[in-house]
Structure 1
Amino acid sequence: MEFLVDMTTHVPSGTSPDAVDDIRGLEAKCARELAAAGHLLRLWRPPLAPGQWRTLGLFSAADADRLERDLASMPLRIWRTDTVTPLADHPNDPGNRTSTSPLNEFLATMTITTPVGATTDAISDRETREAGHARELADQGILRRLWKLRTEPGRQRTLGLWAAADEPALSTTFRSLPLYDWMVVTTTPLSAHPSDPLGAH
């Protein structure tokens, strides 16, 4: 099972720079160990406010208890608050594909609301075309991962890891999706993290 973890660190006032550096060094070592064990898949930095420490991590664990043990083993946890989002398999997920592409990465949450009165055939047609287009985008290295999020009746929510030169290019990609006019998209640009298991991308 995979989880997205939003990790926000608050260093206590008065903490010496040397103590911070020591903890960060231990954190990087722990991240390498978790990655080697297959528990930490990716790390990114989202946009940060001044003075903010925040990391997004993609983890793999058998269940929430196993994930909590992994998160608790990380040295920065003494100063950190974690928000965990369970991720479910999506039928259009291209799977774990590594890429050396220089494109920027983005996380995008898509909330799809089926219009009132849409027929079963119309919905099925759109979903079939969406799946086909997702495969094409995955083959182009644009769609990297796709997961289901918790939903409400009549709505689907997905989280996707996407690659594009910039946000306007990504918006153009989204507009090409057959389900686009039924969805609301929220995008988070991602920056490279020094401890990302895939390294620079």
Structure 2
Amino acid sequence: MEYLVTRTTRVPDGTPDQAVDEVRVREAARSRELAAAGHLVRLWRPPLRPGEWRSLGLFAAADDGQLEEVLASMPLRVWRTDEVTPLAPHPNDPALAPVNAGTEFLTTFTISVPEGTPAQAAKDTEAREARRAKELAGQGHLLRLWRLPGRSRALGLWNAGSPAEMQAILKSLPMDPWMTVETTPLSQHPSDPALIIG
């Protein structure tokens, strides 16, 4: 099972810089071990405010209990809180496609089909959406897609050359008129397994 984990670290005031550096070194080493074991799949930094330590991680574990063991084994957990979102397979997931040069983005989709839409029209739009998702995956733009808890919600991992290109890609989706989209630009995290292993 895969999970998106929002990790927020708050170092207590007065903690010596040397102690922080030592924990960060141990965290990087543990991240490499978890990546090699297949538990840490990806790691990103979302936009941060000054002094904020936050990262987004894609983790794999057999169940919630194993995920908690994995997260608890990480040295920064002494100062960090983790917000876990379980991810479920999505029928349009291209499974980890090769990454093009560009910026990665996470998108949260909430779909609301307008009341009164004929069932066949909704079904046809879903089929066109699936075809478009495959096209975008083939072009290296759509990297992953998961279902989120709740009704008609999904999480996407994308690659685009710029925020404007990302916006144009989203507008090209057949379901765009029915979607509310939250887009988060991502930057590389030094412990991202894609950099360590790939």
Instruction: Decide: shared fold, TM above 0.5.
Output: yes
Task: For residues 153-177 of structure 1, give each alpha carbon's deviation from its aligned partner in whole angstroms, at most 9, with x where no partner exists.
Answer: xxx1110001111111111111110
* 1:1-201 map, 5 Å: 1-99=1-99, 101-152=100-151, 156-199=152-195
Distance 2:145 2:38 in 1: 19
Task: For residues 18-70 of structure 1, give each alpha carbon's deviation from its aligned partner in whole angstroms, at most 9, with x where no partner exists.
Answer: 10000000000000000000000000000111100001000000100000000
Distance 2:185 2:72 in 1: 27
Root mean square deviation, CA, Å? 1.1
**1:98 Cα shift?**
3.2
Distance 1:52 1:32 in 2: 23
Contact 2:143 2:157 in 1 (8 A): yes
Q: What SS does structure 2 have at the residue aligned with 1:66?
A: helix
Distance 1:172 1:189 in 2: 15
Q: What SS does structure 2 have at the residue aligned with 1:95?
A: coil
Distance 2:143 2:191 in 1: 19
Q: What SS does structure 2 have at the residue aligned with 1:38?
A: coil
Contact 2:129 2:175 in 1 (8 A): yes
Regions of 4+ moved over 3 Å: none
Identity of aligned residues (%): 57
Aligned partner of 1:36: which letter? A
Task: For residues 69-98 of structure 1, give each alpha carbon's deviation from its aligned partner in whole angstroms, at most 9, with x where no partner exists.
Answer: 000000000000100000010000000223
Distance 1:52 1:10 in 2: 8
Aligned partner of 1:125: which letter? D
Distance 1:28 1:133 in 2: 38
Distance 2:191 2:98 in 1: 16
Question: Unmatched 5+ residue regions in structure 2?
Answer: none
Aligned partner of 1:59: which letter? F
Distance 1:96 1:140 in 2: 13
Distance 1:11 1:195 in 2: 19
Give TM-score, length-normalised by structure 2: 0.97
Task: For residues 129-163 of structure 1, give each alpha carbon's deviation from its aligned partner in whole angstroms, at most 9, with x where no partner exists.
Answer: 000000000000000000001123xxx11100011
